[in-house]
Amino acid sequence: MFKRHKSLASERKREIFSRGATRSILKNDLRNFHCLSHFVLSAGPLKSIPVVKHSKTTHFEIEVLDAQTRKQICIVDKVIQTSTIHDVKQKFHKACPKWYPSRVGLQLERGGPFLKDYITIQSIATSSIVTLYFTDLGQQVSWTTVFLAEYTGPLLIYLLFYLRIPYIYDMKESSRRLRHPVVHVACFCHCIHYIRYLLETLFVHKVSAGHTPLKNLIKGCAFYWGFTSWIAYYINHPQYTPPSFGNRQVTISAINFLICEAGNHFINVILSHPNHTGVNACFPSPNYNPFTWMFFLVSCPNYTYEIGSWISFTVMTQTLPVGIFTLLMSIQMSLWAQKKHKIYLKKFNSYMHRKSAMIPFIL
């Protein structure tokens, strides 16, 4: 009996001990779980490990062939997608130093149009090897140089004739005859016209950074300088005949000339504004300046004012050389105006359907 109670007591002690051990284990587990959860919460949200992407840049090889003989000149390698034709010309110049980038013409096909400098290689490439045809454009000059040369010449040439240097006119005849006031007014108007041209070329116009062949400079200078010599010779000649209607004809024409010059200047200022150039350009709109109201009627009012100036100068001086020059300039500017008008119709159709190109309601 005593042994039975002893075994029962020992079993009870074991049970109590096992319960205490279990409770201590549970307490330890709860403590560990609490610590783990506190650590996770303090660490913040779990972030996924970013996947590293290896970008592959496609390189092109540009094979440059002679446009006439189709012989290979060089290969420009390691050209990336974003490279432009201008970049290719620079690398081509390094490979062939005798050809400057300005005189390098590149074509996709023989006889095709020359590629613009801003065109990217990716836009014209059909494979990793691109074949381009090279043409030597000859000696090139910048457009700014062309305009400055064309406009400086007439300004100086006219003044030489106005001063009546001995090598042009007979000095005895020049001293005997007094000059009519229209001679002085014509010199003033002519100088104002070309001084405005020069100042606008330097400070107003956004002249293209491109180049043009030297022969275009020679042709432009020959045209402007030649006609200026012819015009100035007649107007400043000692036997020059004044206009038929005298000072009234001269005064009205001179005032109209100055009005057209002012209108031409204000139009050029508007056209040089950033909102009217570039890809996202918008058509110029008239403002508070009355000279800009010509935009209501024509798409190229700068040509309208230019022709108005030369017509006024023709009436003021009443000479045949000025009339011929005005006619030729009118024909050329009408062609330019119609070309620009077609471009405006495509870009700004809603604004252009009621406008003329250069002459209101006529052209």
Same structural domain, 254 and 156: no
Same structural domain, 331 and 345: yes
Those residues whose C-beta lies under 8 Å from the C-beta of residue 176, and which sit 6 or more positions away, are: 238
Q: Is residue 24 one of the residues assigned to a domain?
A: no
Quote the pTM value: 0.73
Asked if 73 contacts 65 with a C-beta cutoff of 8 angstroms, the reply is: yes
Q: Is residue 64 one of the residues assigned to a domain?
A: yes
CATH of the domain at 126: 3.10.20.90
- Hey, what amino acid is at 51? V
Number of domains composing the chain = 3
Asked if 314 contacts 322 with a C-beta cutoff of 8 angstroms, the reply is: yes
Same structural domain, 189 and 154: yes
pLDDT, tens digit only, all 363 positions of the chain: 444 444 544 555 455 445 554 455 445 554 554 554 454 444 445 445 444 444 455 778 888 888 888 888 888 887 887 788 888 888 888 888 887 787 888 888 887 888 887 888 888 877 888 888 888 887 888 888 999 999 999 999 999 999 877 778 777 776 777 788 999 999 999 999 999 999 999 998 876 667 788 888 999 999 999 999 999 999 998 888 889 898 999 999 999 999 999 999 999 998 887 565 455 556 777 888 899 888 888 888 999 999 999 999 999 999 999 999 999 999 999 999 898 888 877 777 665 565 788 888 777
79, containing H or E segment: strand 72-80
65 DSSP assignment: E
Q: Is residue 23 one of the residues assigned to a domain?
A: no
Same structural domain, 81 and 63: yes
Nearest partner of 239 among 165, 172, 167, judged by Cα = 172
Same structural domain, 127 and 205: no
Query: Which of 115, 138, 161 is where one domain is finished?
Result: 138
Q: Is 147 helix (H, G, I), strand (E, B) or coil?
A: helix
Provide the domain limits for residue 328.
Answer: 245-362
Q: Is 46 helix (H, G, I), strand (E, B) or coil?
A: coil
Asked if 227 contacts 158 with a C-beta cutoff of 8 angstroms, the reply is: no
